[in-house]
Structure 1
């Protein structure tokens, strides 16, 4: 009886381990990334290049530059460098939820807002 319980416990632990989210955040700290999302039946594409302290993002022909501040290994804040309006000056907080070999799933919020958005970015370089 005791051996059966220990065997069942061991199998349960192994099974649980297989379903843990993988988060190799260091692999996605810097590089060139693409984020695609559908909105109103249209596929929108954002390309961004992130270094340790800067992020340059291009969306629909418009390029913006932001400062990057790392909170921890899997979370960072981007702060616009030259915002055109007060609303554009708000920081965004990003958090990697899980990773694969070449992509990461993330969530982000804008400073002062309650909405949480999610997406998946693919590393291209």
Structure 2
């Protein structure tokens, strides 16, 4: 085996083993509260604020408010389902999974239920 192939194989095993380790996480602190989520859309930073209770998430984005039901699967995962969808895309449930926590923030993975494509985001608890 060439040195280059060995290095690639070693890198692969390091990456694989790092994915298997569970990052210290305290997801229960993030089940309810007031939160903020920012993302870049078309080169511009957009911020959404939302309030999450045990069963609802009320989100305000660009002055418009939407409400979704929250169904926790376990301490790390929950499903959001809009109560009053305005189109077919909004009818699809969104799967959310907390990956790790950092003080008042958490990193999460999200995407439509059943889809393989997921995105990563960071949410900050503000109250």
Same fold (TM over 0.5): yes
Seen in structure 2, the aligned counterparts of structure 1 residues 95 and 89 have a Cα distance that, compared at 3 Å, is: same
Q: Which secondary structure does the structure 2 equivalent of 1:114 belong to?
A: coil
Q: CA deviation at 1:111?
A: 2.6
Give aligned pairs, total.
Answer: 108
Q: Distance in 1 between matches of 2:86 and 2:22?
A: 42
Alpha-carbon deviation of 1:40? 2.0
Contact 1:56/1:63 (CA < 8 Å) preserved in 2? yes
Mark the CA change 1:86 to 1:20 in structure 2 (over 3 Å): closer, same or farther.
Answer: closer
**Structure 2: any 5+ residue segments left out of the alignment?**
1-17
1:86 is displaced (CA, Å) by: 2.1
Q: What is the distance in 2 between the residues matched to 1:112 and 1:104? A: 23
What is the CA RMSD across the aligned residues, in angstroms?
1.6
1:71 aligns with 2:79: no
Relative to the length of structure 2, the TM-score reads 0.79
Write the distance in 2 (CA, Å) between the matches of 1:112 and 1:70: 16
Residue 84 of structure 2 aligns to a residue whose secondary structure is coil
Return the TM-score normalized by structure 1: 0.81
Counterpart of 1:35 in structure 2 is: 37
Contact 1:22 1:100 in 2 (8 A): no
Gaps of 5+ in 1: 1-15
